Amino acid sequence: MAIPQQVHLTSTWFIKKGCEEEAFKALSDLASSVYANEPNTLIYFVHRQYPPNPDLISKPPVEPSTVVFFEAYRDAQAFLEHVNGEIFTQFVKQYGNLFIQENNGPFTFVDFLQLQAGFVRQFVVVSDHKVVSDQPHNIAQQHPSIMFEILANNQEALKVFYQTVFGWGYQIGSQGFAYIHFNAPFQNLIGGVGQADNTQPGEAAGHYFYLRVNNLEAYLAKVVEAKGTVWLPPTALDGYRFAMFKDPEGNAVGLLEAH
């Protein structure tokens, strides 16, 4: 099977004078929304001019109002889904007037790139205009969970359920196993071992997995609409917000809200 070729690009925009603060706040929110909702957008960096430093001089000089995007997509289709999707089009509609205009939209320079060599170290995420550690406790944990299985009595029906709720697409493997591939290069993975409480939903002895979503209530509504049930309503604990549901076959699955 051919491997889809990734699409990389740089895109340069220019903020109108006096609109810098509002524009960078909107760009930060845009990056957060793309991260939470577009798993096929692999890299989405928004850059501004580096602070003045005599050892780091841009040639030619960069205007403070210049914004440079560096983006990577799983394939051309993923790029088209981003640029034509609701998140980006709504951003342009709501905030496009903060940028220098051309033909009723932001004036941009775009270069599409083909990767030849290199790497990305998985240790940073961008939030609120700052680069922060994606390993908050500086512990290099080993053996992260990298796969889950849901073994169904009625595989076809359960595939439809998860496709309806989460938009999953499947790659069929041996014995009809339906693989779901995720790509989140800056995803911070967590796990843990807790004390069971067999009287409480979601705390009975056993093991569970959680899916990352951007809005618990919205996805629980999709679950109910697709004939699943809410098992544990949205709950906040230790800085996380989570919920659990049961699919139509009674499998318990957790949801962890992005933050």
Which residues of the chain are under the pLDDT cut of 50? Answer: 1-3, 123-124, 126, 129, 131-139, 186
pLDDT in tens, 185-241: 545 667 777 787 888 877 778 788 999 888 999 999 999 999 999 999 999 887 788
Question: In the chain, where does the domain assigned CATH 3.10.180.10 lie?
Answer: 155-188+198-257
* E strands, the chain, in order: 7-14, 41-47, 66-73, 101-102, 105-106, 109-113, 124-127, 130-133, 171-172, 178-179, 210-213, 229-237, 240-246, 252-257
Residue 249 has a pLDDT of 93
- Quickly name the fold that domain 7-133 has: Alpha-Beta Plaits (3.30.70)
Residue 121 has a pLDDT of 61
For the domain bounded by 155-188+198-257, which CATH number is listed?
A: 3.10.180.10
Question: In the chain, where does the domain assigned CATH 3.30.70.100 lie?
Answer: 7-133
pTM (2 d.p.): 0.51
Residue 259 has a pLDDT of 62
Indicate the pairing of strand 210-213 with strand 252-257: parallel
